[in-house]
Amino acid sequence: MQRGIVRLVLVGIEGEINLGFIARLAANFKVDEFYLVAPRASPDSQEARRFAANGSYMLDKAIVVENLDEALRGVDIAACTSAKIGQRSDVIRHAVSAREFAEEIAPRYTRIGIVFGRESVGLTRDELTKCNLLVHIPANPEYPVLNLSHAVGIVLYELWQSLHVVELHEKAPEKQLSYIYEKLEPLIDLVVDKERSQHVKAAIKHILWKSKITSGEASALYYFAKKLRRLVEECVKRC
């Protein structure tokens, strides 16, 4: 499936620290297009630059427009966001969770727009109606309102996870696990009586095969098993 293009839209952003932090997040999660609708904080301010750190190039790339319609031109799906969701009858504020949006909905579209409102009052109801759906981050019902930049971070993170294959380390191939086990098996036979050895062997195999061991972890374990076996064999010979 084609990886979607993500357009981040901030409506009326007020704080320069937030703007800077969001530019950094846009770089951390490789946002393709960055739109600012009538921003009150300046992308050229020192504060914004400072908090953007190595993401300050996103502030240069930002496209400033006057209203939300302009910012949504050309997207296949526009998702507004809100910390406030509605009661049963307030359908304009019926939302999907950020997870559901990122995992189930966004991958079906090529140009994905995600819209965040002002720190003080969020998005107006009129702005909400311009989106195809509403996205909400579930949190503590006693205090669900995240700072704007943290909400942006979570949604961009969710989209990144969903649009990229995440594998941090090469997993140990079956062969490597077998090698480790083969080094250990004679040691088990040596020190555990026959009756219990079946259990010890099963335990070790279960642990090796279910632990999602990385190849590097497997190498370290194999090295230990090899050294241990050598020591034990020498010991036994000498006795």
Chain positions contacting a copy of itself, by CB under 8 A: 17, 21, 24-25, 27-30, 51, 53-55, 85-91, 94-97, 99, 136-140, 142-147, 149-150, 153-154, 157, 160-161, 164, 166, 168-170, 212, 214-217, 219-220
For a copy of itself, the closer of residues 73 and 125 by Cβ is 125
CB of 220 to a copy of itself, least distance (A): 5
Nearest residue to 6 via CA among 49, 35, 48: 35
Nearest residue to 137 via CA among 154, 157, 113: 154
DSSP labels for 23-78?
HHHHHHTT-SEEEEES-SS-TTSHHHHHHHGGGTHHHHHPEEESSHHHHHTT-SEE
For a copy of itself, the closer of residues 139 and 202 by Cβ is 139
Nearest residue to 156 via CA among 112, 200, 192, 195: 112
Rg, C-alpha atoms of the chain: 27
CB of 222 to a copy of itself, least distance (A): 12
CB 154 within 8 A of CB 98: yes
For a copy of itself, the closer of residues 67 and 215 by Cβ is 215
CB of 107 to a copy of itself, least distance (A): 16
CB of 144 to a copy of itself, least distance (A): 7
For a copy of itself, the closer of residues 45 and 197 by Cβ is 45
For a copy of itself, the closer of residues 133 and 192 by Cβ is 133
Sheet holding 33-37, edge to edge: 63-65, 33-37, 5-11, 111-116, 77-81, 133-136, 96-97
For a copy of itself, the closer of residues 169 and 196 by Cβ is 169
